[in-house]
Amino acid sequence: MVGKYKVITLCGSTKFRDAFMQEQKRLTLEGNIVISVGMFGHSGDQEVWNDGVKEMLDDMHKRKIDMADEVFVINVGGYIGSSTMSEIEYAKNTGKTVRYLEEAE
């Protein structure tokens, strides 16, 4: 396994900070390189709401998807917001595998 690592970008609402941290740890221990969000705007990182910052972060996250082999969606309780939906659509349109924390029923 050493030297051959899948790159996974996490996507999901930043209100799920704890789930992001848990899945990042789990996926890393499984031998993956994990790319996550840089800030948790819905969990206290107020700088996200400054002029132009959210737009920059949204664009930056799509670049993180470009670097990944697949996307892992943190969809606690099945929740997927509009930003995450946009990232899922982007990932699918660029040929990335998309997996989910919770499968839709």
Domain extent, residue 60, equals: 40-77+85-96
pTM of the model: 0.86
Query: For each successive 10 residues of the chain (105 residues), what is the average pLDDT?
Result: 86 91 96 86 63 79 94 95 92 97 80
Instruction: Report residue 7 as tokens.
Output: 């790159």
The pLDDT assigned to 49 comes to 67
- In the numeric block, the tokens 């969606």 are attached to 73
Q: Is residue 72 part of a domain?
A: yes
Is 12 domain-assigned? Answer: no
DSSP characters over 15-57: GGHHHHHHHHHHHHHTTEEEE--S--GGGT-GGGGSTTHHHHH
Please tell me the distance from the alpha carbon of residue 5 to that of residue 33, in angstroms, as a whole number.
Answer: 6
Do the domain assignments include residue 16? Answer: no
In a domain, 46, yes or no: yes
- 96/73 Cα distance (integer angstroms): 12
Q: How many domains does the chain have?
A: 1
